[in-house]
Structures are given as C-alpha cells and as structure tokens.
Structure 1
Amino acid sequence: MMSSAVSRIPAASPEQALAHFQALQQFETDCWDVHHALSNQRHDFVLLDVRAESAFNEGHIAGAVSFPYAKLNQANLADYPQDTLFVVYCAGPHCNATEKAAIRLAKLERPVKKMIGGVCGWLDEGFELASGSEG
C-alpha cells in the first residue's frame, strides 16, 4: 500500500512527542483555560488584547487590557511587577499580533503565553465578548 502525505514522514518517537507537546504548554494556553480562570476569579495573569484599540472597542474578552503590541515597552509596563505573566491574544489564527507581542515581551524579559485561537477561538467556544473601552 502506498503511504499517504500524513504518514510519508514518520511520526516522532513517543519521547520526542512528549517533549514537544509539554514544551508547547509553556508557550500557549487556550480559550477554555483562560475562560475558566477568569470565571473562577483565578487572576494570576494579565490578559492583553494586543489588537488596535478600535478592534478592542468593537469586542474583546471581559477582563482583558487593551495594549496594542506596538505600545509594549519597558516604560508602559512599569506598573506591572517583573514576574507578571502576560497572556496575549489577537483576532485569531489569521493574525500574528500575538507573536509580535510575545517577542516584545520576551525581549523585555517578561513571562508570556499566547492564547491560541484569539477572538475567533473565543467565539467558537461559545463565549461572549464585551464592547467599549473598559476591560
């Protein structure tokens, strides 16, 4: 039988797969986990909406802080302790603002995770958005 495009390149060993997927958890979280944390008053991170302020005002996750990635710098983060965990999100998989924000935060030696899915993922899970300029 001919191999498919799926199996043509062999899967990683179980040991490699374990290391890879465990490492992903250090870099990413998902909409469900963020929603659960926010709904249960487990605010041990700061959720940053890194899109333009106009997009934030149109609809954002309640509790998020509007912080367009271009404004992430040492001076603007001065009110946050150095060990604050930031979770960043943008519009969704078609947007790379989360990566741009994560790079900036990492260069500033700040802990950061990406919320995979962004606003699209949030809505796909059935969660609601808030509107206006307040988090």
Structure 2
Amino acid sequence: MKIYISSLMVTDQNKARDFYTEILGFVVKHDIPLGEHSWLTLVSPGNEDGPELGLEPAEHPAVKPFRDALMEDGIPATSFAVEDVYAEYERLLALGVVFTQKPTEMGPVTVATFDDTCGNLIQISSYAG
C-alpha cells in the first residue's frame, strides 16, 4: 500500500491552484472540469508519478467548523518536507507568504507554519538526522 492522493479542502480552487503552483512550486497533474469545480491534483516537481495533492472544494458542511477549529488552535492541515526550513521560510516570506510560526527547532526536526490563503495552515519541515 502507498499514498496515492492526499486531499486539502480549499475555499477557492483557482486561488489555491495559483498559490500552490506559482508560490510553492507544485505542478498540476490533473485539472479536469467537473461543473463549477475541477478534479485538481498537484505533484512535486520532478516527481510527477509520486503522491498527488488533491485540492478539493470545501463545500461539505462539516469542513468549515473543522477547519475553523484547526486554524484557531494553530494546527496545520498537512506538512510538506523541504531541504532547509530556514531557506524556504525566507524564500516564501519574500513572496508575501504569511507565517503563523517562524522556523522552530524541535529536536532533529525544524518546522514553520504558514497560511495558504485558502483556509489552511500548512507546515514545512526538514529533518537534520
């Protein structure tokens, strides 16, 4: 068994696609129109056959209270691995990304958390082991 698609619920698929591709650097794998929304998945650059990130419309009634609670408590919806959290933090700051947690060392892992502008907190992490 392996991870195929992991989904994030987003308030606006177009805005999310732009943020995740233009700012974070992911690559669109699928963008198939399905009425007012799309089957929209992204992959890491250079890993087009790897796990996909699905950007799902956040329309189910259970999504808003769940995401609001996560945001209020500062809990990231997911975490992305980066080579160097400090360097990625500086790169994203220069692009206008808003961080809710600056790079923080937690044993062998360094993490930082930012707002994806589409209703989610996202953590980046690097392992120094």
TM, length-normalised to structure 2: 0.25
Larger Rg: 1
Bigger RCO of structures 1 and 2 (CA < 8 A, at least 6 apart): 1
TM-score normalised by L of structure 1: 0.24
More helix by share: 1
